[in-house]
Amino acid sequence: MKPKQKILIASLIMLGVLLVGFFGLRAFRPFKQLRGHHPPPGGIETDVTLIRDWMTIPYIAQRYYVPGDKLFEAIKIPPPGNKDKSLLQLNNEYYPNQPGYVLETIKADMLAHQPPTPPALPATPKP
């Protein structure tokens, strides 16, 4: 091999290593941020009246920080194949003669398993 060819090959290898390192670090940073499952921004939701029939069980489970399997148990529907379906779709498929059954059952189950809210402190009188 000629010396010019060796230099060209070495420089191409070095360029390849630099590109792999650069893009590898760029991919590693977002991966590091996604490693844990955290509650959504804004804290954990507790108001079950905000649950709508367009929501899916996994979305509700994440937003309200409850196990999704417990919600599927409450409505007596198997999770496999149903995780991407909205509450309305699940209701139409499994309970077609009972409109709103899945939504109301999910809300009732969520209310039944929420911890009690502490009583509000009385206002202190001003002197």
Please list the helix, strand and coil fractions of the chain in percent, rounded to the nearest 5, in that order.
55, 0, 45
- With pLDDT > 90 as the criterion, what percentage of the chain qualifies? 13
Q: Over the stretch 21-71, which tens digit does the pLDDT of each residue have?
A: 999 888 887 776 666 555 555 556 667 778 888 888 888 888 877 888 888
Residue 80 pLDDT class (50, 70, 90 cuts): confident
**Burial environment of residue 82 by CB neighbours within 10 A (0 to 12, 13 to 18, 19 or more):** middle
Radius of gyration of the chain (CA): 27
Does 14 score more than 90 pLDDT? yes
